[in-house]
Structure 1
Amino acid sequence: MAAAPPTYPRWALYLAQGQKIPYKRHWVRCTHPLALADKIRRPPQYSQEPECLTEMSLMMACWKQNEFSDIACAEEIQTFLRCSSESEARRKEKMKREAMGQTGHFNLQEVNQILKEFPNIKKFS
């Protein structure tokens, strides 16, 4: 018994023959008027993974093994403190850039101020 010839999708046949793939239009029905809102709300804040979690867990494991002796775990403590100070410095620098407007994005208050200056027309006369 002979094997059946392979079947190809229709778009592959168009390409093989050097033809354009016919474009199928999809229509969208708008249920609301296309207009911006007069105010936006703060998006939900998703919790990020703590930056120094591994260093902290290593420090606590060392404490547990050495009966909470700071002398025996000095290296782990220094690693955790260094990580937390670097993380705090990055956070402060980010807040400073955002306050100065150097991020290239508008913050929530600026967007709401612009939307307040140019409100949507509600009624047509």
Structure 2
Amino acid sequence: MRLTDICLKPKKGSLKKFTNYKDVGYKFKVIRVPALKDSVTSHKEKPESAPCVNEMTRVMDCWKRTDFSQTACSKETEAFMSCLAAAEVTSKLAKERALKGLPSEGSHMRPSKQVNEMLSKYPQPKYNFVD
């Protein structure tokens, strides 16, 4: 008889403490179903900050220095008004692009309306996940 046989041979009562051990394996708990939905919620892209903030602060600083004199701050007021006009034009262009279904300028993401149309063409199959 070899030494390994003696070491590996179970002794009487040596596995007694493991009698209640049952290996159930890993049970995956489904929190969210791992499948796409047939639609996405609509999100409007929000601007990072309000337009023309720097120009507005320059106008207000000028008013504070000159005791709210409109004539002394005409250059700053004109710069603020031209900035507002440019911001209005860009917002109109963004709205027109959204109505056409194109992504906004500088973005590669499609509008939610267009994504919903694509998802409705190819609906997702119903999945049956057991808990």
Q: Give TM-score scaled by structure 1 length.
A: 0.62
Which residue is 1:97 aligned to? Answer: 97
Which residue is 1:79 aligned to? Answer: 79
Go from structure 1 to structure 2 and tell me whether the alpha carbon gap of 1:71 and 1:86 turns closer, same or farther (over 3 Å shift).
Answer: same
Which residue is 1:106 aligned to? Answer: 110
Go from structure 1 to structure 2 and tell me whether the alpha carbon gap of 1:100 and 1:123 turns closer, same or farther (over 3 Å shift).
Answer: closer
Structure 2 counterpart SS, 1:116? helix
Pairwise CA RMSD = 2.7
The structural deviation recorded for 1:82 is 0.6
Distance in 2 of aligned mates of 1:45 and 1:101: 14
Q: Is the 8 A contact 2:58 2:76 kept in 1?
A: yes
Q: Give TM-score scaled by structure 2 length.
A: 0.59
AA in 1 matched with 2:119 = L
The structural deviation recorded for 1:101 is 3.3
AA in 1 matched with 2:121 = E
Distance in 1 of aligned mates of 2:82 and 2:127: 60
Tell me which structure has the larger Cα radius of gyration.
2
Distance in 2 of aligned mates of 1:123 and 1:77: 61
Which residue is 1:6 aligned to? Answer: none
AA in 2 matched with 1:74 = S
Which residue is 1:52 aligned to? Answer: 52
- Percent identical residues: 27
AA in 1 matched with 2:61 = A
Structure 2 counterpart SS, 1:68? coil
The structural deviation recorded for 1:91 is 1.3
Distance in 2 of aligned mates of 1:101 and 1:108: 9
Distance in 1 of aligned mates of 2:47 and 2:90: 17
Total equivalences in the alignment: 96
Go from structure 1 to structure 2 and tell me whether the alpha carbon gap of 1:102 and 1:45 turns closer, same or farther (over 3 Å shift).
Answer: closer
Go from structure 1 to structure 2 and tell me whether the alpha carbon gap of 1:91 and 1:113 turns closer, same or farther (over 3 Å shift).
Answer: same
Distance in 2 of aligned mates of 1:93 and 1:44: 15
